[in-house]
Structure 1
Amino acid sequence: GNHIPAMAKTAVAYLLFLLSLPGSFSWWNVGSSRQNSLATNRISNKAQVQSCEANLRERINRRLGLQAVTFHADIVENMCGSSRSATVVIPGPQLNDNVTLKFIHIPKVAGSTIEDFGMEQGYRWGRFDQSELIEHLEQPKCWGTQYYHGIPSGVKDPSVHTFCVVRDPYARMVSEIRFELTFRVMHKVQCPSAERLNELIMEQMNQNLQARTFPCHWIPQYKYVSHCDHVLRMDKLADDLRTLGKHYGTVFELSGEHSMDDRAKLGVDCELTTSMLTPETKAALEKEYHIDAALVKMLDDNVIGNKDRLALPNKLAALEAFDKAQPWE
């Protein structure tokens, strides 16, 4: 766990560096000018893209070192507008009723899996989406990724439909610890014991959310859900995606394993599960995430329009209001 503070310092330095870049990259900041100005400023010429990438790599190397250039290759590509994303808005495949389907990325809930799957199908979701059809709140900070990790603040056009995925909140936090142990680490990491897993979770839980290593990864899932027309379940992800695709007149067929590719670092036999959590850890997680646990139980097999059909925003707001009136013991 000693690498985490150094990693956080590097992330802070990198974020400050990104925010210091010239106006060509103003889209990186949430709350910047919207689509028209984005389209005007967007780099579309291949030679310009290559020049931009070379310049940005040199700057990262000079400020943060050669390893950072390799670590942040995907960010360089996105910021410079690579040949696969030369314009701000690239229509995806045609869907029923001319709907534009967008993905709300709740951190540590199969987000990268969904985004990669979408790219294969021709959709630009999450980290690949530079359309800004969905606006996101800036807080809490998450090392520059709040443009797709942040809580949505609203959708511009009624033709935009959204979906998100939720999961067991306690499994989500175990997954977060796996992520924190292996993020941007090139060497093998020792698989934590059950005792160490609980220590790592409690180290984070004993701080307020903003002080945690990756604040946006610890935001309760229910805070995103009022912005999701369709709420899918991670433990039924393939089935729910298939249902969603059928609703919009297309085929969403997800295959393979839906988990972080961290086994090369933690070891193929490293299994971290909720069964390893102590009563103390469970109690701390329950205090902060019991509304998420209730949310997961509200969902059924019919994921189409279930935000409104199940009145999720009203139910979740009622639970939140009750929490504020009756402090959790």
Structure 2
Amino acid sequence: FGSRNPLQTAMFLLGVYVSCFCAACAVSSVRLLTPAFLQNEEDTTEHYSLQQADFVPGVEETCNQPSNSTLKFLHISKTGGTAIEEWGRKHGQFWGRYWNYCLKRYHGDTSGNTLVRVKEVVENEPHHAPPHYFARNPYEGYSTFTVVRDPYRRIISEFRCPYAGYCGRIISDALWLCEERAQDRRLALRKEADVHKLNLWIQAALQSDESERRSHLIAQKEYVFNFEGERMVPFSRVLRYENLESDFATLVEKFGLQFTPLLDVNVEPETAMMTFSIDDLTDTSRRLVEKTYSDDFNLFGYEKLTRAQGLMSWFHS
């Protein structure tokens, strides 16, 4: 401490101590004010995983390049869309969440009777928003395509979704079925999910106010037809999940892209939940799915089981 006298030395050490103490308090305060999911390293990674694709190198240049020969993907949830987005990025295409940076430049529509849903979807998951949810169609001038799926199997897949399904990481319909947000307990509840919980979740989610349902429960017809009923996606570019590999190969080759097999990108530990089939749906759940997604059954050629069962009963009576 050089030529400092004892008093100066004591004052210097006291100053150092006070500075260190204040710094420690500041760090503690920041941690106390930080949301719980950001304090947990694992949860931070999970929360960010849905947002990290909002900006990728090169995407900004594509925001204002409408071209009738350029494909754009309308991502209906639980129809193999993530695999398609990853395929697109590998082949130089910005599809779905990899085009969110551009989609977020558009605002939600201010008309219609589903304003709550429109605002929620456009702001938080624009890649899952149908074109007419935006004030101006961001896909105008592009050649859009989408994938549809059997409504029964889609809703079962929604239940198992690790993001928006039963006890999902980030968002979920029928929240009252899983109010526990602690990571370990939430995962345990997912693994314990059974047929009873499946049907409870489906009935609670589909009986909620339509205007407040999140993006994962939007009817598939909304991606193909606008509010006025006008077709927005040609029949030839509405692919079927059941034939996804072959339908997708035909489409991309038609647009001059070299097809390579789609990869299974949704296999992860959190999906360690028992699998379910249509046979696990109660009659109440089936009828609710058929009522909610009646147009999806009719427009895309999927059979309503309760109707088929009714015809069989009549035939054998």
Question: TM-score, normalized by length of structure 2?
Answer: 0.62
What do residues 32-89 of structure 1 show as CA deviations (whole Å, max 9, x unaligned)?
xxxxxxxxxxxxxxxxxxxxxxxxxx9998244323532233355345x4xx425512
Alignment of 1:254-265 (within 5 A): 254-257=261-264, 260-262=266-268, 264-265=269-270
Residues 238/137 of structure 1: CA separation in 2 closer, same or farther (3 Å cut): farther
From 149, 159, 179, the counterpart of 2:128: 149
Question: TM-score, normalized by length of structure 1?
Answer: 0.60
Paired with 1:101 and 1:59, the residues of 2 have a C-alpha distance of: 45
Range moving further from structure 2, 230-239 or 66-75: 66-75
Hey, what does 2:39 align to over in structure 1?
Answer: 66
Hey, what does 1:100 align to over in structure 2?
Answer: 70
Alpha-carbon contact 1:136-1:150 (below 8 Å) kept = no
Hey, what does 1:170 align to over in structure 2?
Answer: 152
Paired with 2:46 and 2:264, the residues of 1 have a C-alpha distance of: 24
* Unaligned runs of at least 5 residues, structure 2: 1-29, 110-114, 170-182, 226-231, 303-317
Alignment of 1:142-291 (within 5 A): 142=121, 144-153=123-132, 155=137, 159-179=141-161, 180-181=165-166, 183-184=168-169, 187-188=187-188, 189-212=190-213, 215-226=214-225, 227-229=232-234, 230-257=237-264, 260-262=266-268, 264-267=269-272, 270-291=274-295
How well do the aligned residues superpose, as a CA RMSD in angstroms? Answer: 3.2
Q: Which letter maps to 1:251?
A: Q
Identical positions, percent: 26
From the CA coordinates, give the structure whose radius of gyration is larger. 2
Range moving further from structure 2, 177-186 or 280-289: 177-186
SS in 2 for 1:165: strand
What do residues 206-262 of structure 1 show as CA deviations (whole Å, max 9, x unaligned)?
2112444xx22111100111332411111111011111012112223333447x335
Q: Which letter maps to 1:66?
A: Q
Residues 234/267 of structure 1: CA separation in 2 closer, same or farther (3 Å cut): same
Alpha-carbon contact 2:83-2:262 (below 8 Å) kept = no
Residues paired across the two proteins, number: 228
Q: Which letter maps to 1:115?
A: E
Residues 276/247 of structure 1: CA separation in 2 closer, same or farther (3 Å cut): same
Q: Which letter maps to 1:173?
A: I
Alpha-carbon contact 2:104-2:122 (below 8 Å) kept = no
Q: Which letter maps to 1:169?
A: P
Residues 85/157 of structure 1: CA separation in 2 closer, same or farther (3 Å cut): same
Q: 1:99 offset after TM fit, Å?
A: 1.6
Alpha-carbon contact 1:238-1:253 (below 8 Å) kept = no
Alpha-carbon contact 2:103-2:127 (below 8 Å) kept = no
Q: Which letter maps to 2:150?
A: D
Range moving further from structure 2, 63-72 or 239-248: 63-72
